[in-house]
Amino acid sequence: MATVKLWSDAEVQADPRVKAVFDDIRAARRSDFVNNFWRGLANQPAVLERTWASLKAVMAADGALDPLTKELIYIAVSTANGCSYCIHSHTAAARAKGLSDAQHGELLAIIGMASETNALVTAMQVPVDPEFLA
Amino acid sequence: MATVKLWSDAEVQADPRVKAVFDDIRAARRSDFVNNFWRGLANQPAVLERTWASLKAVMAADGALDPLTKELIYIAVSTANGCSYCIHSHTAAARAKGLSDAQHGELLAIIGMASETNALVTAMQVPVDPEFLA
Amino acid sequence: MATVKLWSDAEVQADPRVKAVFDDIRAARRSDFVNNFWRGLANQPAVLERTWASLKAVMAADGALDPLTKELIYIAVSTANGCSYCIHSHTAAARAKGLSDAQHGELLAIIGMASETNALVTAMQVPVDPEFLA
Amino acid sequence: MATVKLWSDAEVQADPRVKAVFDDIRAARRSDFVNNFWRGLANQPAVLERTWASLKAVMAADGALDPLTKELIYIAVSTANGCSYCIHSHTAAARAKGLSDAQHGELLAIIGMASETNALVTAMQVPVDPEFLA
Amino acid sequence: MATVKLWSDAEVQADPRVKAVFDDIRAARRSDFVNNFWRGLANQPAVLERTWASLKAVMAADGALDPLTKELIYIAVSTANGCSYCIHSHTAAARAKGLSDAQHGELLAIIGMASETNALVTAMQVPVDPEFLA
Amino acid sequence: MATVKLWSDAEVQADPRVKAVFDDIRAARRSDFVNNFWRGLANQPAVLERTWASLKAVMAADGALDPLTKELIYIAVSTANGCSYCIHSHTAAARAKGLSDAQHGELLAIIGMASETNALVTAMQVPVDPEFLA
């Protein structure tokens, strides 16, 4: 159970500021479905507006990285941070953007490998090579 | 300072098992430079062999994900895990594989954004939408 | 399911050492309710005694920080550590100590913001300004 | 060493978009000092603008939480995330906002205590009490 | 729910490469039970093979550390990383290898204590004593 | 640089409460060397007393786990938490208690392996097998 209220569509409709963000989410995603994350953020309209504006800017399609690559990075961070909800929602988003089973398998292998070498480096307290600082 | 000995080239040359791995690293990377991570792992030849074999397999060029995308994922995990050495070494590796400033900027923005929404989701304890479990 | 037994009230009553701690928890909180954390710690009476004594000392009302502020800090740490149980229990404790929706909203926004800037700083490996070390 | 360029004042002056943010930071803080975090973010003007706008909104003085409490929460998150730079910069900010040694001592004790009970809860996998979900 | 398919025994039997690993797991553990982790990894046969080969090598009985000690270390890491599944599976493995309640209690106390002092050290940014670098 | 004052021996001598703890640390360890962690905690005598009392109790020699095993667990947690100081100090402590290079190598391999499988499990969101909950 959430520690905050998750807003129903009726509650969203009754608050013009929240409604505007939800309308924009629905338009941007071309889908009526708005997931629970936004229904929780609705309790704080200013944070809701700022978070959605930032997410739109960061994940926008026309950047230097393509939309699927962006989702892979999002899943990697969410996994390292142990955010179950985020792993589920961004894996779903990645699949919607074309993630294949082979790509997913490689993503998982890299996440596992990086986690292992991160830990080995930390346990050995390896000093940074001067070559990496040039 | 490291908690283990970092093997010099002379020490590497004197141990056939370690030398074989270092030779393969140099061949695969077409460079004489072998970074400190491997010099620390050299204390445990079996772990050295296994880690290098895994890294070669996971980061190999001919997968479903391209080499630069793999490095971006590696940097994302290393950042979330707070591994300074790994961030330096894999940012250097990514630049060697063509990472542009614009791509790096977007990578950083996604890592920051994901970390923020991971934390918001966790603090609100948002339940996973049934739509994500289908 | 827990990895340890959660002690029932009957089991607590049968062990004088555990009973003494539970009696003190009930007296300090002016409530008969003792949550599962303590029922798990009951398996290790020495750890139970030490943890309760420390918690009483650290969270005591008459310190330099007020009780609600202390709970906000506890929630912030628990969120960053991804402890779902702790987020639930300390958000409940904070609400019992007067946390308003507006305060909760700001707490969440700060936790999210700090997580984002923490990640940006780490990814950029920003060196500490000499001004902060004075 | 940073993985990105840290912009000098001369470089900032030469870029109107970055200069505008730096001018606003200096005005808001009534100080000429702009710390390295912003000099690293300057490489990505859009992220710089968004991050500063968010930070101003989140940490603004006239919220439901007072400015010092906000810094305590920021330090708590930064510590749990292991961000050395952030701990230094926000401890400095908290001192500038009046943090006493006694308050700092209590903050540290709570961060330590929360980290300990977070770990104990996680290791025992304690189920959330129904009372916390009401 | 998992983000990948968990392979049934029938599916495992139909894939010779996956079947070979599952057969070896069953032989090594002298048990017909193969847990969900391997059923998820089965989607990526190469990762499945590599992970099982590494786990066998790392957790093998005839090392410098005894099998129970190895499981204690595994539980400690899994707790610090907040991996609920891993805490459950390795606590079960440790019990199967003779973990007593007293040993489990001490393990938990050390994990808690380490987490507390880790956080205190980080918040205070304590510099490493030269004596530890000798 | 630390965010708190590190007490010199002269300052310790001048404060009876802090002096008592330092005397006990020196007696328990049969060494005049007191490391920086305690010199930082000295700013908060109550936390200093409590932390030392807890550490003595938890790490005491006559438990169900032997002193070296306890240090291995401490290093494992400190590595997963990324506490550089703690890794250095507890690796030094483990060596003083007889840690061999072979044991250290195995410890590192387990920490790496656990970190990898923790991440794989989390990315796949593997559900706990009912067998582990019995």
- pLDDT, residue A119, reads 98
Strand (E) positions, chain D? none
- pLDDT, residue A132, reads 93
Q: pLDDT confidence of C76, banded at 50, 70, 90?
A: very high
Q: What is the pLDDT of residues A15-56, one digit of tens each?
A: 999 999 999 999 999 999 999 999 999 999 999 999 999 999
From 1.20.1340.10, 3.90.25.10, 2.40.110.20, 1.20.1290.10, which CATH number describes the A62-125 domain? 1.20.1290.10
Cα(A128)–Cα(E15) distance, rounded to whole angstroms? 44
Q: pLDDT confidence of C71, banded at 50, 70, 90?
A: very high
Cα(F119)–Cα(A111) distance, rounded to whole angstroms? 7
User: What does the block give as tokens for A80?
Assistant: 């390292």
Q: Which of D3, D4, D44 sits opposite B109 (nearest CB)?
A: D44
- pLDDT at E61 > cutoff 80: no
Query: Average of pLDDT values for C40-67?
Result: 94
Q: Which residues of F touch A120 (CB under 8 A)?
A: 108, 111-112
Distance from CA of F29 to the nearest CA of B (A): 22
- pLDDT, residue A1, reads 86
- pLDDT at C134 > cutoff 80: no
CB contacts < 8 Å between C and E, how many? 22
- pLDDT, residue E133, reads 85
Query: Average of pLDDT values for F19-37?
Result: 97
Query: Average of pLDDT values for C88-116?
Result: 97
From 3.40.190.10, 1.10.1760.20, 3.20.20.140, 1.20.1290.10, which CATH number describes the B62-124 domain? 1.20.1290.10
Q: Which of A3, A5, A38 to mutate to test the interface with C (most CBs of C within 10 A)?
A: A3
Cβ atoms F81, E78 nearer than 8 A? no
Largest distance between two CA atoms of chain B: 59
Q: How large a percentage of chain A has pLDDT more than 70?
A: 99
The complex's ipTM works out to 0.96
What is the per-residue DSSP string for chain C?
Answer: --SSPPPPHHHHHT-HHHHHHHHHHHHHHTSS---HHHHHHTTSHHHHHHHHHHHHHHH-SSSSS-HHHHHHHHHHHHHHTT-HHHHHHHHHHHHHTT--HHHHHHHHHHHHHHHHHHHHHHHHTPPPPGGGG-
Q: pLDDT confidence of F9, banded at 50, 70, 90?
A: very high
What is the per-residue DSSP string for F6-65?
Answer: PPPHHHHHT-HHHHHHHHHHHHHHTSS---HHHHHHTTSHHHHHHHHHHHHHHH-SSSSS
Q: What is the pLDDT of residues F41-63, one digit of tens each?
A: 999 999 999 999 999 999 977 88
User: What does the block give as tokens for C130?
Assistant: 């000499």
Judged by DSSP in three states, A60 sits in: coil
- pLDDT at A134 > cutoff 90: no
User: Radius of gyration of chain A from Cα atoms?
Assistant: 19
Helices D101-124 & E101-124 angle (0-180, nearest 10): 150
Count CA atoms closer than 13 A to E75's CA, side-chain side. Answer: 35
Task: Split chain D (134 residues) into runs of 10 and give each run's mean pLDDT.
Answer: 96 98 96 97 96 94 92 98 98 96 97 98 97 85
For Cα atoms D83, A122, B100, give the angle at the middle one, nearest 5 degrees: 65
Distance from CA of F18 to the nearest CA of A (A): 32
- Return the number of other C-beta atoms located less than 10 Å from residue C130's C-beta: 9
What is the per-residue DSSP string for chain B?
Answer: --SSPPPPHHHHHT-HHHHHHHHHHHHHHTSS---HHHHHHTTSHHHHHHHHHHHHHHH-SSSSS-HHHHHHHHHHHHHHTT-HHHHHHHHHHHHHTT--HHHHHHHHHHHHHHHHHHHHHHHHTPPPPGGGG-
Helices C45-59 & E101-124 angle (0-180, nearest 10): 30
- pLDDT at A14 > cutoff 90: yes
Q: pLDDT confidence of C77, banded at 50, 70, 90?
A: very high
Name the residue of chain D whose CA is nearest to B109's CA.
D47
| Topology match between the domains E1-60 and E62-125 | yes
Q: Do A109 and E82 touch (CB under 8 A)?
A: no
Fold of F64-124: AhpD-like (1.20.1290)
Domain locations in chain F? 1-60, 64-124
Q: Which residues of E touch D117 (CB under 8 A)?
A: 112
Query: Residue B51 carries which side chain, given as an amino acid letter?
Result: T
Q: pLDDT confidence of F77, banded at 50, 70, 90?
A: very high
Name the residue of chain C whose CA is nearest to D90's CA.
C132
- pLDDT at C56 > cutoff 80: yes
Judged by DSSP in three states, A129 sits in: coil
F→D contacts (Cβ < 8 Å), by residue, are 3-4, 43-44, 46-47, 51, 77, 81-83
Q: What is the pLDDT of residues D41-55, one digit of tens each?
A: 999 999 999 999 999
- pLDDT at A91 > cutoff 90: yes
- pLDDT, residue E54, reads 96
Name the residue of chain B whose CA is nearest to D42's CA.
B105
Q: Which of F86, F122, F124, F125 to mutate to test the interface with A (most CBs of A within 10 A)?
A: F122
- pLDDT at A112 > cutoff 80: yes
How is domain D61-124 classified at the architecture level of CATH? Answer: Up-down Bundle (1.20)
- pLDDT at F95 > cutoff 80: yes
CATH, domain range C61-126 = 1.20.1290.10
- Superfamily of segment(s) D1-60: AhpD-like (1.20.1290.10)
- pLDDT at E37 > cutoff 90: yes
Q: pLDDT confidence of C28, banded at 50, 70, 90?
A: very high
Distances in Å between the Cα of A102 and the Cα atoms of B63, E44, E46, F89 are 8, 8, 11, 43
Distance from CA of C38 to the nearest CA of A (A): 22
- pLDDT at E134 > cutoff 80: no
Q: What is the pLDDT of residues B55-93, one digit of tens each?
A: 999 997 788 999 999 999 999 999 999 999 999 999 999
Helices A45-59 & A67-80 angle (0-180, nearest 10): 130
- pLDDT, residue D60, reads 79
- As a residue count, chain B comes to 134
Task: Give me chain F's average pLDDT, please.
Answer: 96
- pLDDT at B130 > cutoff 90: yes
Query: Average of pLDDT values for E58-69?
Result: 90
Q: pLDDT confidence of F1, banded at 50, 70, 90?
A: confident
Q: pLDDT confidence of C1, banded at 50, 70, 90?
A: confident
Q: Do B37 and A117 touch (CB under 8 A)?
A: yes
- pLDDT, residue C133, reads 85
* Residue A67 per-residue DSSP state: H
Cα(C27)–Cα(C31) distance, rounded to whole angstroms? 7
Burial of residue B32, with CB atoms counted within 10 A of its CB: 0-12 exposed, 13-18 middle, 19 or more buried? exposed
Name the residue of chain E whose CA is nearest to A75's CA.
E3
- pLDDT at B134 > cutoff 80: no
Q: Which residue has the higher pLDDT, E61 or A81?
A: A81
